[in-house]
């Protein structure tokens, strides 16, 4: 069994923002896997889509707690299903990675990402695989001088949209490859 969490903020006003690439990725995965539509699970405070892929149960999760409190929903899901740490995957944005690039890691620290800080704090461990999707283009297409909290809550510029879409698609493809052939295969192909 795998739990795949995309981090983001709920609500239409955030749907296409940089901070929501995690949601975008699990939306794409739901389509790839052919799972039914999202259902709000009030116990988890998360939208859930689940099914079977490659003979493995998959639970896709979109926390509805807002980014900085993501750990509240993620910890409830993980504790309910009691999966090994290696079977929890978290997908989220990273301002330190160039727009259009992704990074796959078996574990790591939260860095400056408040959503991952919340997840690690409430889970009590950080040794879970993650895919970070680069959203940074300040000084290239986006203006150089921007405050990070504001930057991540803005939509991609028109000239950035194709790179952002490609990164989300690559993250989804990397996850599918990891399910089929393992984390290292995904790292080798996409890092």
CA distance 130 to 147: 25
pTM: 0.93
We find that the CATH architecture of domain 2-190 is: 3-Layer(aba) Sandwich (3.40)
Assess whether pLDDT exceeds 80 at residue 148.
Answer: no
- Residue 137's pLDDT is what? 64
CA distance 88 to 69: 18
- Give the mean model confidence (pLDDT) for residues 154-158: 87
Question: Domain extents for the chain?
Answer: 2-190
User: Which of 189, 170, 187, 186 minimizes the C-alpha distance to 178?
Assistant: 186
Per-residue pLDDT reduced to its tens digit, 40-87: 999 999 999 999 998 999 999 999 999 999 999 999 999 999 999 999
CA distance 104 to 127: 13
Residues assigned a catalytic role: 19
| β 39-41/46-53 pair status | antiparallel
Per-residue pLDDT reduced to its tens digit, 98-145: 899 999 999 988 888 899 999 999 999 999 999 999 998 666 666 666
Residues 63/41, Cβ–Cβ less than 8 Å: no
User: Which of 128, 136, 88, 129 minimizes the C-alpha distance to 112?
Assistant: 136
């Amino acid at each position: 069994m795998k739990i795949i969490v995309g981090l983001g903020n709920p609500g239409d006003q955030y749907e296409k923002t940089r901070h929501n690439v995690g949601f975008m990725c699990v939306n794409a995965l739901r389509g790839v896997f052919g799972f039914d539509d999202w259902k709000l699970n009030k116990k988890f405070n998360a939208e859930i889509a689940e099914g079977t892929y490659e003979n493995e149960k998959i639970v896709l999760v979109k926390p509805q707690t807002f980014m900085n409190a993501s750990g509240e929903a993620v910890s409830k899901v993980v504790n309910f299903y009691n999966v090994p740490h290696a079977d929890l995957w978290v997908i989220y944005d990273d301002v330190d990675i160039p727009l259009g690039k992704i990074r796959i890691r078996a574990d790591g620290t939260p860095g400056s990402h408040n959503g991952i800080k919340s997840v690690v704090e409430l889970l009590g461990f950080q040794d879970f695989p993650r895919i970070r999707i680069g959203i940074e283009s300040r000084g290239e297409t986006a203006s150089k001088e921007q405050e990070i909290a504001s930057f991540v809550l803005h939509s991609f510029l028109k000239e950035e949209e194709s790179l952002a879409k490609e990164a989300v698609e690559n993250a989804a493809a990397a996850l599918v490859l990891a399910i089929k052939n393992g984390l290292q295969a995904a790292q080798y192909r996409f890092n």
